[in-house]
Homo-oligomer: A and B are copies of this chain.
Amino acid sequence: MTEYEDLDEWSPQGPVTELTDAHARALLERHGFGRLAVSVNGQPQIFPVDYHFDGTAIVFRSAPGEKLRDLALNPVVAFEVDDRTADGAWSVVVDGRADILTEAAEVQHAEGLPLPTWIPVAEYTFVRIVPTSIRGRRFQRWMVHGSPQR
């Protein structure tokens, strides 16, 4: 076990390491597809979204519907980005508050962000999450017989 003494914890799949804040932020900036978790009356919900993170805030577009209704009832959210790697997976979880952008200058700025382009046939709103915490973790598949499992 000596070689793993620096690990923070174990998952049932293998060792877990905390990523540095800089590493977690870099992963958020490099990716553009994540998952929003909201909670209304104790019922969690998950929505996949395309987003942009500029180092300060996460911005995504939302059509009118369940997601916006939920955010109006409870703006406290979690946001997650993850990916599989050759030997496991990483995950970055952001806690924060989601606000709908209403000021013209904010909306104009958001229109210029590198979000996926599309023909705007449907109404939409920009939502911004300012993180209160960012936590990144790496999940390593434990090696059995010299090779990573699954």
Contact = CB atoms under 8 A, between A and B. Distances in A.
Interface of A: 1, 9-14, 32-33, 35, 37-39, 42-46, 48, 50, 61-63, 65, 74, 76-80, 82, 84, 89, 91, 93, 95, 116-122, 124, 139, 141-142, 144, 149-150
A144 B117 contact: yes
Contacts of A33: 84, 89
A120 B44 contact: no
B35 A39 contact: no
B12 A124 contact: yes
Contacts of A82: 35, 48
Nearest to A39: B39
Nearest to A145: B117
Contacts of A93: 45-46
Closest 8 pairs (CB-CB, A-B)? A12-B61, A39-B39, A10-B122, A37-B44, A12-B124, A118-B142, A46-B80, A37-B37
B95 A43 contact: yes
Given A46-B93, A76-B43, A84-B33, A142 B124 contact: no
A144 to B, nearest CB: 6
Nearest to A82: B48
B46 A78 contact: yes
